[in-house]
A and B are shown apart, each in its own frame.
Chain A
Amino acid sequence: MRPSTTPRAADRAAAETSRATPASAARTRRQLLAGVLQRQGAAVVLVLVLATAWVSFPRFGGADNLRDLALQSSFLAVIALGMTFVIITGGIDLSVGSVYALGGVLAAYGSRWGFLGALALPLAVCGLIGLVNGILVARTRMAPFIVTLASLLFARGLLLAITNEGATTYQIHGGSAFLQLGRGTVLGLGVPVYLALALCAAGGVLLRHTRFGQSVFATGGAESSALLMGLPVARTKIVVYTLSGLLAGFSGAMTAAYLQSGVTVIGVGTELDAISVVVIGGTLLTGGAGTVLGTVIGVLLRNVIQNVINQIGTLDSNYQSVVSGGFLLAVVVVQRSLARPRAGR
């Protein structure tokens, strides 16, 4: 398709750019097939698992169970939404699990100042952590996974510091309007479900239909080309990491409202869940390609499988992470084998 003497970087840049603009006619059939498999693979599996679960477990299709499933998925979906943006820029954010827990504790702590306090405190602090991540990644060119590993530690340390080394669990008092954010229901579905849907829809539009979204794709697809084209690469990175911090903090706040307290032990390993569902949803870990819808499907797939494992009952709940790991591996290997001819290696 391209002369074999083309330097690899340029080749990749061209390939990625064509991926970044879906309308480009330069796509080969193979790329198209790869794209379809990447995007729809998880959806197909989700439908299969749903159908199997529906038939095999009478309790699975019950309204209560589905309501629970939607509610549980919404917390992870909000975190994974931010992760999707970060991964499309070619980065990774390992701090979201700790930031999520920190957001919950701060929301519970801030609830003494009413609804606004409970919302503003976690968003401010978690957004700031994301901002620092972004600045360190964008301006100092340190590896994203190291920077965010450090903030994983930092956020957990901060959480321990404000909770008296984890001994204090702040409660949200029963009459607080803030509780509605997690426990309220509209038309039978929990408020977090609507919030997660709204955020994901907004994220999808932001990614697909705005200039910012285009520079997110361009940054992850071919950073040097994006720079040469005059795109604000550094600013884009700073914004996505800030977004990731904000969303993780917001998800933590919703969780605190749902649990009515700032639980200190949640969020350990949540970053792995978020990364897994994003990758399972077809977003390339190498950056430059991905969709919000895929991420939502990935979240649903993960939680449906977990739900099924719980329904079986005799199965150890630890199988969940084994299945996740195996699925992640399968997805990555398939992605790699589809991408191989394109990468020219």
Chain B
Amino acid sequence: MTDQATVAPVGTRRVRTTGWLQEYGVYLAVAGLLVFNLLFTANFLSTANFRTQLVQAAPVCVVALGMALVIGTEGVDLSVGAVMSLAAALVPLYLGYGVVPSIVVALLVGLAAGLFNGFLVAYVGIQPIVATLALLVGGRGLALVIAHGRLVEVHAPAFRALGTDDVLGVPISVLVAAVLAVVVGLLVGRTTFGRRIVAVGGNRSASTLAGLPVRRVLLGVYAICGLLAAVAGVLATARLGASDPADVGLLMELSAITAVVVGGTPLTGGRVRVLGTVLGALLMQLVRATLIKHDLPDSTAQMVQAAIIVVAVYAAREQSSR
């Protein structure tokens, strides 16, 4: 799978070393954590455990894929958690019409939210962080209004199967995440759209001058991000067996940005690393699981996560300062 597309900077050896670390650090970290757990964590090497880890990482991974595209254009989407919550709130409303229509409605609303963000960024010219902040503030409130602030249990067996069943021994949510990762990987590596994302993020004015449809690219990227956030919202609802708009996707923007940045996509754009993003999501999940399995409390897990973010962004910064 073609995983990266780079506007390669010609650098000194030092830049190349840090660049290498930024690029492959996440693989090393995941491998290191796996080895550590195999050696020191009881009951780590079991199918059930691996399933749990993958299922828990799946929603973050799906959101992070969209976020990677947005960050590749030198943007950011803070509204992903709110979009997940919107999708979750809508699912039970339309379950009466069948499972497929309810999912379609949720996904369409996610797409619309993404288009809305993209419109603000591309056509109105608002900074991404501000444009998506409005939806972050309002989106969850809207979801809670729609759901009357309540948690609604979802009983439709066909819908719950999404969260509980396997296909060929792989949980459906993990399968969805994997398929989406491949699709996004192909999109970035093999299509004109992917090349344009990287170009727009690398140098927006040059892309405009070169006649690229910069605005349409931005619109598309935010639309995809919104759509994927809605997918994650549906998956999370299916797994929980209930629509919980107050809680679904809380702080998801943070987890997704972390996964992307840890995976080697710089916040300054111009580069999208899809496989790195997937591993970044896995890494954050593994860190959390490792701490929990060794009976370290949630508070410590949060502080460690904070430290990882700072270190990862610090490393990424070295490479991008030209």
Chain A residues within 8 Å of B, Cβ to Cβ: 92, 136, 140-143, 145-147, 149-154, 156-161, 165, 272, 275-276, 279, 285-286, 316-326, 328-329, 332-333, 336-337, 340, 345
Complex: how many Å from CA A328 to CA B132? 11
Interfacial chain A residues near B306, Cβ < 8 Å: 150-151, 153-154, 157
Which chain B positions have C-beta within 8 A of A154?
302-303, 306-307
Interface string of B104-141 (1 = CB under 8 A from A): 00000000000000001000111101110111111111
B47 at the interface (CB under 8 A from A): no
Q: Which bucket holds chain B's interface residue count?
A: 35 or more
Question: Known contacts A141-B317, A153-B254, A332-B126: does B302 contact A318 (CB below 8 Å)?
Answer: no
Q: Is B191 an interface residue (CB 8 A)?
A: no
> Are A136's CB and B299's CB within 8 A?
no
B144 to chain A, nearest CB (A): 4
Q: Tell whether B298 is near chain A: CB-to-CB under 8 Å.
A: yes
Kindly identify, within residues 299 to 320 of chain B, every residue whose CB is under 8 Å from any CB belonging to chain A: 299-303, 305-307, 309-310, 313-314, 317
From B124, B144, B314, B317, A336 is in contact (CB under 8 Å) with B124
- Give Cα A217–Cα B313 distance, bound, in whole angstroms: 27
Tell me the minimal C-beta distance from B119 to chain A in angstroms. Answer: 11
Q: Which chain B residue has the least Cβ–Cβ distance from A279? A: B130
B251 CB, min distance to chain A CBs, angstroms: 8
For residue B127, which residues in chain A have a CB less than 8 angstroms away from its CB?
285-286
Q: Can you spell out 5 A-B residue pairs with CB atoms less than 8 angstroms apart? A: A145-B76, A154-B307, A161-B297, A272-B136, A322-B141
Looking at the assembled complex, report how far the CB atom of A331 sits from the nearest CB atom of chain B, in whole angstroms.
Answer: 9
**At the interface, is chain A mostly helix, strand, loop or mixed?**
helix
B293 on the A face (CB < 8 A): no
Instruction: Name the residue among A150, A279, A317 with the largest chain B CB count within 10 angstroms.
Output: A150
Task: Check if B213 is an interface residue, CB within 8 A of chain A.
Answer: no
Chain A residues, CB < 8 A from B125: 336, 340, 345
Q: B142 at interface (Cβ–Cβ under 8 A)?
A: yes
Residues 42-56 of chain B, each 1 if its beta carbon lies under 8 Å from chain A, else 0: 000000000000000
Given A143-B267, A316-B145, answer yes or no on A321-B137 (Cβ-Cβ < 8 Å): yes
Q: What mask results when residues 283 to 300 of chain B are scored 1 for a CB within 8 Å of chain A, else 0?
A: 000000000000001111
Complexed CA–CA distance, A136 and B125 (Å): 29
CA distance A337 to B124 in the complex (A): 8
Q: In the complex where A316-B148, A332-B131 touch, is A322 in contact with B299 (Cβ < 8 A)?
A: no
Q: Are A333 and B141 in contact (CB under 8 A)?
A: no
A157 close to B134 (CB less than 8 A):
no
Contact A324 B137 (CB under 8 A): yes
Q: Which residues of A contact B297 (CB under 8 A)?
A: 160-161, 165
Quick check: B138 and A157 within 8 Å, CB to CB?
Answer: no
The chain A residue sitting closest to B129, CB to CB, is: A145
Q: Does B227 contact A (CB under 8 A)?
A: no
**What residues of B have a CB within 8 angstroms of the CB of A157 in the complex?**
298-303, 305-306
| Least CB distance, A94 to chain B, in whole angstroms | 9
Which residue of chain B has the shortest Cβ distance to A153 in the bound complex?
B306
User: Bound state CA distance, A88 and B259, in angstroms?
Assistant: 30
**Do A146 and B257 have beta carbons less than 8 Å apart?**
yes
In the complex the two chains form, is B302's CB within 8 Å of A156's CB? yes
A342–chain B nearest beta-carbon distance, Å: 12
The residues of B that contact A336 with a CB separation of less than 8 Å are 124-126
**Assuming the A-B contacts A136-B310, A160-B299, are A272 and B133 also in contact, with contact meaning beta carbons closer than 8 angstroms in the complex?**
yes
User: Does B321 lie at the interface of the complex (its beta carbon under 8 Å from any beta carbon of A)?
Assistant: yes
Closest chain-B Cβ to A209's Cβ sits at a distance in Å of 29
Q: Which residues of A contact B157 (CB under 8 A)?
A: none
